[in-house]
Structure 1
């Protein structure tokens, strides 16, 4: 079962061994083509296609809901334990106001019996006790004191078990502990009006402690004002005249002479008396405070008369009023209640100013002359009896819209509660199909009134609902609550638990959760709350579903729960579904969730279907009408709007991220291009400088200057050239050739043979990148300028030399020809080395 704080799935854990199976069917290509024609006609709204196909049975359910068709085996959050208001400032969080009965039973027994064997009998039979309490409370509307209910359930458990006396006494003792732990708490089942009961409970939790605090404040003001009069009387002549003095002595004062006392008393003390105006103001405030009695009524409902109000009248602090315009009447009723308290609040403020001797008539008299509810403090507004308008969804979307809008815009901290049927369109006319036009979203209508609190929730998720109530009460703004209870009209369809149906509305995006609280700030990030929705990042929640295929093998399929799945639970919407006969095999049939994600042009070529399970645990595909698909798109559109408001999958944020990423990529590319250009320029400068130096050395060599040094630096491998004396032994025929023939040879031919077929490094171009020494530190060595030279060729391979040439950033390594003809792969290596000749 899901926890109260994590609504990743709105469905509880399934119980039982029921695994649906696919029917065995023979596939016929020709029959499929003919059938697809009929299916398409039904999808497009042809009555002939509808008549030709089989409708859904009364016991058919969406596949994901099949495990919960037996309500007696369904465990869920209700009944609830409602805790009484705590002493203090009335700021109890939602988690301290209500708790699932199952959780409370488990935690309480664990508290007084922490050991494994402690309270073993009671611990083992808590599920039975929970089921008995749920059954007992099923037909009762509203909360009951928990102790009598628990005592009765305990007696039933003892009779059910039929224990011997020893075990019966032990169980009875633990049951007494359980009932004692409940104290003044109440227990409540999931009846017809759970949302109203929880609203009343939330109001009591806020108002009762605050009223006690305000009463203490009033009492302090009364004492303070009376002390002012006592001080003032002490200044008067009457307080010290003989008769008063004699009376103050009392009987037995015969030896006391009041006349003599009067002669010697100092009449000059405290002669500055209270002005008549101040005295009258204090007397009036004191009279108001002493005559004030708190109104026992905390909640006043105004409704259209369609609600059974007997349970309201049974509560001492709840009253109801029938009116054809609940919102309009609630406005006037709040003003009446606020006017009653305006005198009291003004008297308290005047008393505190007078007691502190800071009342200034020029400032405060005009203020209190027009003192109304608009001047109430936050704490004072919370003390006004809560006025709740119970509206009808269709009425506020039609003729009641003006009154609703005026109340939402008024700023009066009244509560408007509208019970929603997610399958209906509040804006549709009575004789219109709910899918004839796009749905009027009352929640979005509430958001348009920017200073109103909007709370769309469900009684099936009590923590989310109570949290929304508390935020609305604390905000002291006009509040619109849109509540789905999951109640279904009587029909021949399989009867489902109302709590489960309400959960399906949340799951199928038919009634998503959201809260907008203007008191939280001016930005949507502060105002909007989106918690409680399952898989809020996705279009539709997806859950695993187990079934048996045609071969009887158990398999698992990930199914999305869509608005179409929820619509299958609504009796008057079942005509939007038809059975796809077994054996119909076509690529044009796609699941609804996939169909809705397709582009419209492509979707129009396909047909959407759902998975459903009948009462015999047979799994079927069900075709969905085009009208219902349009409604699914409409619900999905609203869901995306809410996601955007809440900052979940916000398209503006996504575009900003994409734009930032593109800018970063462009900036990085520009920086890389600039670095490459700078590097190329630097390499070219180094190459030109090295070429100039090489030409200078070559010129010096040809002119006979420092020949040994020049050749020694040029020859590859770091080997020095032969001494000049050896060069002088050149063939004399070369020297005796005519001058003309010598001049015809190019200058470079006149240079000595530098052996470029041998490996060599253009050392001045080396950038000291360390790439070649990492390949072989003996083959490649650094000179004193940390520039590469060839080392011992016998310590390396031609392959390593070619590899170094390929990765060299300065392209200054020239592999030449291989020196070891036995090295493998020479043909390929020579081909690679040709680029560096």
Structure 2
């Protein structure tokens, strides 16, 4: 199981030292039958059988997670370096907003010390520095200035190494260069609220540049309106009155006679003066624009009161408010903020119309009289301070559903953030079992509100989460964010890194990723993004797992990570598992992923199990309850729905392919029948022609035979007469056959001899997957369109043809019947080939 979304973060190689081992099994047929009886009843929910089996220990983990049980040795993407908003249009990509600390340290050192010998001490201890920073940041909630943290870590590294004076100074210089390269960035660990901190970071990256651009627009409007007044003043009599003229000259104009100048100046004005109505309108707009000051608060959280954190109140641009109905309060707050900005936005629009001299009171006065947020442009909507409703999953699935739905349908660009526990059913009552009914999928509920942005992601994959935030902040619809952080309540179970638990929820299809952006278009192919899901074309992700068998030999299994594996990490769901003793050996025990793929009637005859590893590195099989199996099927059903929505596996497409294949097969069969009929007719015609020619030759021979001539006498036309004795054994059948010494020349364009038992390929259906060519490139080859054709059958085997037909994704290879009766195993091969007839 890959612990990270990026290849640069890997689990330490020392994890290979711990390879789990299977206990030696003592097999007893009678004991196995009795044990299977108990296991079956336990699986079906019999309390007595449940108590008769051993529960899981607190230190047991799913097999694929065993290498990651030591959180201190786990390397992953956090801490993160958060870069400040860049100058420009505020369109930074998610990769430009954050980077894992490990990757940033590597890149930063490489930038200022590209040569191998330079900064050698720092390069050799970069992992120590990373580990120290990760440990230090566990004590901090939220981002902190990176410079100060790096400075403290650098001092700790110098003390740890105890270098001599020369090496200590060299390391100090390299550390100073490292600190200088971080600039104003912040660093953040994986605390309790990483999703909220990343959302605030994304908002700042977008809103700050937008406000700078809007302020520049206001300044331009103010200058334009003042220039209108200056032009208008120049048209007035007052501008050339003696006193105003004298005042305009200043104290240095003592010899200047303004009265004389006034007498000789032309006081007539050729331009029409500004009306009082327009002057009043421009003065009012100018007053609004000059008095406007942007709200320093960028983010307003509305929550139920569960979040009482100092960091939320320490930032000047973040405010929080407690309300029993966060969605309803968010609606009211947005309307209030939008109403205050409506006056400013209207003033900017009026100013630009007046500057362009295109304001028409008859048209524009009624428009601006009712100007509200519904009339805001896209850019104006994005300037409204971000209102974020922090909701509880259970509340919005029950009593808060109406308020949630009203906000999602309103079109207000507010954000709704819901923290999800994938092991819970948001729609279940507090006293109900989470698997008592089908799970309420809030993400699918969000999709039902067609014009809302839906983002289901996890803080464990920060790039995916940031991308979803940025798409929502660039849209002008209400956005629903469903976030899993992986936090577990305190319990006696083995303490696991929260990042790892969140990653397990992604792997186990408990919290799959998807985004829906209505602004991308009306079709699901444009709106839906399925990025970030591991092995998105499979039902469950599959990873290799190494262990030691009963003989101590290292072996490898391909294990699927399912929802039941994730459930093993949840304390209150551990009772759904029971240990299968090592001595139990039965074909009825089936790995869970295989069990879920069986038809229901066949699955009822089997028992599902998972592989788990205890604290002593012993590998065990674990029985899974029927109730948890039903939950796995429910999660798999939702996963299939998302696959179809995203076009990864679309049943409509598969049906269309099947119809096309059936039509192609029917057309090919009809073509074969036509060719065979033509072939049979041609054979009949040639046979009749050959028989007639043979009779003519026989007649010619008999009529031209000289009985007095010795055997071998030449006849006219170069033919040799045969002795009478040679003709005595000629019957009608032999006479009707053509002479072997003179076969009829074949026609150049004769059709090939096609039969029902011959192999063939539906070439137009070939997907160019190369699977058949990898089996035998002489038996199969591509045409000019890179689609498969049959090659030389004599250079391949019937077994290879059957194998190629079985693995062909388009099912376009039809083996027919074997051409070599001596090939071994033909009975079994014919049975396998029957499915492709």
TM-score, normalisation: structure 1: 0.84
CA distance in 2, matches of 1:3, 1:242: 85
Partner of 1:654: 654
Moved more, 231-240 or 4-13: 4-13
Contact 1:485 1:498 in 2 (8 A): yes
Contact 1:58 1:494 in 2 (8 A): yes
Partner of 2:487: 487
Change (3 A) 1:213 1:13: farther
Q: Secondary structure at the match of 2:608?
A: strand
Q: Secondary structure at the match of 1:15?
A: helix
Partner of 1:320: 320
Contact 1:14 1:68 in 2 (8 A): no
Partner of 2:471: 471
Partner of 1:620: 620
Cα distance, 1:667 vs structure 2:
1.7
Contact 1:2 1:13 in 2 (8 A): no
Q: Secondary structure at the match of 2:150?
A: helix
CA distance in 1, matches of 2:31, 2:702: 101
Change (3 A) 1:587 1:319: same
Partner of 1:196: 196
Change (3 A) 1:70 1:500: same
Runs of 4+ in 1 over 3 A off after TM superposition: 1-14, 675-699, 701-704, 724-731, 753-758, 760-763, 768-772
Cα distance, 1:262 vs structure 2:
1.1
CA distance in 1, matches of 2:721, 2:507: 101
Partner of 1:548: 548
Contact 1:71 1:497 in 2 (8 A): yes
| 2:295 pairs with 1:300 | no
Cα distance, 1:361 vs structure 2:
2.0
| 2:91 pairs with 1:110 | no
| 2:747 pairs with 1:767 | yes
Written as runs of structure 1 = structure 2, the 5 A alignment for 1:749-768 is: 759-761=740-742, 763=744, 766-768=746-748
Unmatched 5+ stretches in structure 1? 712-718, 732-747, 773-837
Partner of 2:762: none
Change (3 A) 1:399 1:11: farther
| 2:665 pairs with 1:665 | yes
Partner of 2:716: 723
Change (3 A) 1:692 1:111: same
Partner of 2:636: 636
CA distance in 2, matches of 1:495, 1:168: 38
Change (3 A) 1:320 1:10: farther
CA distance in 1, matches of 2:229, 2:246: 22
Partner of 2:389: 389
Cα distance, 1:54 vs structure 2:
1.1
Partner of 1:256: 256
Moved more, 683-692 or 449-458: 683-692
Change (3 A) 1:378 1:2: farther
CA distance in 2, matches of 1:630, 1:126: 48
1:501-545 CA-to-partner distances (Å, cap 9, x unmatched) read 000000111111111111111111111111111111111111111
Partner of 1:174: 174
Cα distance, 1:760 vs structure 2:
4.0
Q: Secondary structure at the match of 2:238?
A: coil
Cα distance, 1:678 vs structure 2:
4.0
Change (3 A) 1:691 1:305: same
Change (3 A) 1:123 1:692: same
1:392-441 CA-to-partner distances (Å, cap 9, x unmatched) read 00000000000000000001110000000000000000000101111100
Cα distance, 1:768 vs structure 2:
3.5
CA distance in 1, matches of 2:652, 2:252: 93
Partner of 1:815: none
CA distance in 2, matches of 1:124, 1:450: 53
CA distance in 1, matches of 2:461, 2:376: 33
Written as runs of structure 1 = structure 2, the 5 A alignment for 1:104-503 is: 104-503=104-503
Cα distance, 1:749 vs structure 2:
10
Cα distance, 1:152 vs structure 2:
0.6
Change (3 A) 1:693 1:340: same
Cα distance, 1:18 vs structure 2:
0.8
Contact 2:11 2:73 in 1 (8 A): no
CA distance in 1, matches of 2:338, 2:240: 46
CA distance in 1, matches of 2:429, 2:12: 37
**Which structure has the greater CA radius of gyration?**
1
Partner of 1:784: none
Written as runs of structure 1 = structure 2, the 5 A alignment for 1:568-647 is: 568-647=568-647
1:344-383 CA-to-partner distances (Å, cap 9, x unmatched) read 1111111111111122222222221111111111111111
Moved more, 448-457 or 675-684: 675-684
Written as runs of structure 1 = structure 2, the 5 A alignment for 1:650-799 is: 650-681=650-681, 722-723=715-716, 759-761=740-742, 763=744, 766-768=746-748
Change (3 A) 1:353 1:724: closer
CA distance in 1, matches of 2:572, 2:438: 18
Change (3 A) 1:481 1:755: closer
Cα distance, 1:681 vs structure 2:
4.5
Change (3 A) 1:131 1:262: same
Partner of 1:796: none
Moved more, 441-450 or 269-278: 269-278
CA distance in 2, matches of 1:422, 1:698: 93
Contact 2:513 2:533 in 1 (8 A): yes
CA distance in 2, matches of 1:557, 1:407: 49
1:249-306 CA-to-partner distances (Å, cap 9, x unmatched) read 1113232221221112122234301122221221111111100001110000000000
Cα distance, 1:680 vs structure 2:
4.5
CA distance in 1, matches of 2:713, 2:6: 82
Contact 1:9 1:534 in 2 (8 A): no
Cα distance, 1:690 vs structure 2:
7.3
1:179-233 CA-to-partner distances (Å, cap 9, x unmatched) read 1111000000000000000000001111111111111111011000100010011
| 2:491 pairs with 1:510 | no
Partner of 1:100: 100
Change (3 A) 1:769 1:308: same
1:649-708 CA-to-partner distances (Å, cap 9, x unmatched) read 211111111111111222222233334434544565666677778888999x6999xx89
Change (3 A) 1:691 1:355: farther
Contact 1:10 1:534 in 2 (8 A): no
Cα distance, 1:575 vs structure 2:
0.8
CA distance in 2, matches of 1:11, 1:645: 34
Change (3 A) 1:762 1:8: farther
CA distance in 2, matches of 1:593, 1:52: 26
1:730-786 CA-to-partner distances (Å, cap 9, x unmatched) read 99xxxxxxxxxxxxxxxx999xx98969524464x74246999xxxxxxxxxxxxxx
Change (3 A) 1:682 1:364: farther
Q: Secondary structure at the match of 1:670?
A: helix
Contact 1:396 1:404 in 2 (8 A): yes
CA distance in 2, matches of 1:356, 1:665: 70
Note the aligned Cα RMSD (angstroms): 3.0
CA distance in 2, matches of 1:482, 1:631: 20
CA distance in 2, matches of 1:492, 1:2: 26
CA distance in 2, matches of 1:210, 1:500: 36
Change (3 A) 1:442 1:13: farther
Contact 1:8 1:534 in 2 (8 A): no
CA distance in 1, matches of 2:566, 2:304: 29
Unmatched 5+ stretches in structure 2? 707-711, 725-729, 753-837
CA distance in 1, matches of 2:250, 2:362: 46
Contact 1:19 1:548 in 2 (8 A): yes
Q: Secondary structure at the match of 2:17?
A: coil
Change (3 A) 1:208 1:4: farther
Contact 1:609 1:621 in 2 (8 A): yes
Contact 1:8 1:535 in 2 (8 A): no
